[in-house]
Amino acid sequence: MSYTLAELAERVQGKVKGDGNLVISGLGTLEKSDRQQLSFLANPKYTNQLKTSGAGAVLVKSVEQASVVENAIITQNPYLAFAQLSHLFVPKTQSWVGVHASATISDQAQVAEDVTIGPNSVIDEGATIGSGTVIGANCVVGRNAHIGSNGRLYPNVTLYHDVKIGDDCILHSGCVIGADGFGFAPRTDGWEKINQLGGVEIGNQVEVGANTTIDRGALESTRIGNGVKIDNQVQIAHNVIIGDNSAIAGGVMIAGSVNIGEFCTISGGSGITGHLTLTDRVHITAMSLISHSILEAGSYSSGTGMEPTSKWRKTVARIRRLDETAKQVLDLRKQVNKLLEKVDTK
């Protein structure tokens, strides 16, 4: 996996400064790259590292930045160019091709001829797997589940029955798609389970992180739109709808029947309570609790910001006294109004 600098520049519509025949065999950071690696400068605060970088070449945005290094690719968006070029250097991650001898595939399943299926994986009856898809070791593709073309399931992924995955999707290890939603009706002596009769429908070019769970719907399907990116350890409850090209960071918890619009971002550790709507292009900052619908695009936050513990304790103490303080202010206002009334009558 080696390319000349000119070849890489052509792939990102960039302009070469320096030696276009320089051979690049990998990508790296400004700080730790060597002569055979290409790095990138996306954040101006790291500009000073250009002079000391050992990288053979650097993706930069301007001629001025390129002048600091011997070789460069000048491109409008260095970070996007880095992302595009990263696809060229992906190492092979499995040692087998075709269907491993230990895999169990139902005679009733429809599997394209060029699909790769790893050791101990199970493909149940009625399942369909599209061309070019790679199924890692110990995966389970449930009854009547569907996976589109050119997908990738890393080891230990579980797809329950009737789950539908689109084309070009990546599911990382340990994620579970289609488990029952959390549905129970109270009885006098406990709880009655509500069977979850819907499914999960995931669009094209979706990536789901490790140990993330997406629950099936109660009656209708949980739906994840095209281009959605979901990080590790995210919980998406039953009947959630996520619009196209939204991104959800690690540790987010989304309760049932939440409707999230397109191009939204939910930062790590945030929670969204049930039956809410977030319109398109809503951006939630880290560790926020969203407890009512957001119908206007923009950035939203909740909680208190970090500060030294001693100061935080004082702040919390004041917050706990807010109700008492508010009552005192109201009483004082009433007293002032009474005094003003007496002055006015004189």
| Whether 100 is catalytic | no
Integer-rounded Cα Rg, in Å, for the chain is: 27
Classify the phi-psi angles of 112: left when phi > 0, otherwise alpha if psi is within -120 to 50, otherwise beta: beta
Q: Are strands 222-224 and 23-24 parallel, antiparallel or unpaired?
A: unpaired
b/e 153-183 (16+ beta carbons within 10 angstroms → b): bbbbbbbbebbbbbbbbbbbbbbbbbeebeb
User: Residue 251: CB partners within 8 Å, gap ≥ 6?
Assistant: 231, 232, 233, 234, 268, 269
The number of beta carbons lying within 10 Å of the beta carbon of residue 15 is 12
Q: Tell me the residue type at 282.
A: V
* Residue 346 to residue 338: CA distance in whole angstroms: 13
**Tokens standing for 286?**
């880290």
Rounded to 10°, the helix 309-320/322-345 angle is 50
What is the C-alpha end-to-end distance of the chain, expressed in Å?
94
Find the catalytic residue in 146, 161, 172, 238.
238
Place of tokens 């890692």: 136
**Which residues are part of the catalytic machinery?**
238
